[in-house]
Amino acid sequence: MTDTLHENDMATTSQAVVLASGNAGKLREFQELLAPLGITLSSQADHDVPEVEETGLTFVENALLKARAASRHTGLPALADDSGLVVDALNGAPGIYSARYSGEHADDAANNRKLLDALRDVPEGQRQAHYWCALVYLRHADDPAPLIIQCGWKGDILSLPRGEGGFGYDPLFWVSEAGMSAAEMSRAEKNRLSHRGRAVAEFIDALKADNA
């Protein structure tokens, strides 16, 4: 990701985009990741976008639903992220249900407890997982050719939480090449390695090509 602006970035500077998410952790990461581009990111809460039901069966379907609803409501281009944790030993659960794993209005702590419980009898060495991020950008609500980027991030599920940073399942997500959990990383380190950070880097390139 570049941190300087070039001439042909002008079309992307001061571009108003709505982030179709109600997740404060995601919003913070997106603001950090997109700040160098001069994109003015507002959250859907700023526009009173009603929450859309995530009825898709894949991350990408849900990201499309969220982006379309936010763009329709605001008249702005919309960026949505549908993401979650895919655990091999659980046949891919919690997957698209990651946010709702322990109930419809689940919080991160309850979801983490449920994950630890589900993996109680799964030994070290069999606790592989990956985060997945589907990023969708709609130029307008009826955009037939959205920008779609998907990235994963491999890790292992710990038996006890570690670290205070990040959000969601980060305290249980061990990244062996970094020797720490995602919640022990600096924000910059997580953004450099993570599913979302790398998807946003690819998105920035795609947006530049789109605006060129």
Ligand X SMILES: O=c1nc[nH]c2c1ncn2[C@H]1C[C@H](O)[C@@H](COP(=O)(O)OP(=O)(O)OP(=O)(O)O)O1
Pick between residue 22 and residue 36 the one whose CB is nearest to ligand X: 22
By CB under 6 A, is residue 196 in contact with ligand X?
A: yes
Distance CA 92, CA 195 (A): 16
What is the separation, in whole angstroms, between the first and last Cα of the chain?
17
SS3 content of the chain, % helix, strand, coil (to 5): 40, 20, 35
- Which of 77, 84, 146, 155 is close enough to bind ligand X by CB under 6 A? 84
- Which of 74, 98, 150, 181 is close enough to bind ligand X by CB under 6 A? 98
Q: Please, what is the minimum distance in Å from the beta carbon of residue 124 to Mg ion? A: 30
- In sequence order, the 6+-apart residues with CB closer than 8 A to the CB of 13 are 5, 37, 38, 39
105 phi and psi, to 5 degrees? -115, 45
Q: Known binder of ligand: residue 114?
A: no
8 A C-beta contact, residue 93 and residue 34? no
Distance CA 167, CA 108 (A): 8
31 phi and psi, to 5 degrees? -60, -40
Contacts to ligand X from residues 58-77, by CB under 6 A: 66
Q: What is 132-162 written as a DSSP string?
A: EEEEEEESSTT-SS-EEEEEEEEEEE-SS--
Contacts to Mg ion from residues 129-168, by CB under 5 A: none
Residue 102 interacts with which of ligand X, Mg ion, none, CB < 5 to 8 Å by class: none
x-or-dash pattern for Mg ion, window 74-113, by CB under 5 A?
-------------------------x--------------
By CB under 6 A, is residue 22 in contact with ligand X?
A: yes
The catalytic position among 3, 46, 81, 82 is 82
- Interacting residue ranges for ligand X, rule: CB under 6 A: 21-23, 26, 54, 66, 81-85, 98-99, 111, 131, 166-170, 182, 194, 196
Interface residues toward Mg ion, by CB under 5 A: 99
Annotated binding site for substrate: 21-26, 83, 167-170, 190, 195-196
The annotated binding site for Mg(2+) is made up of: 53, 82
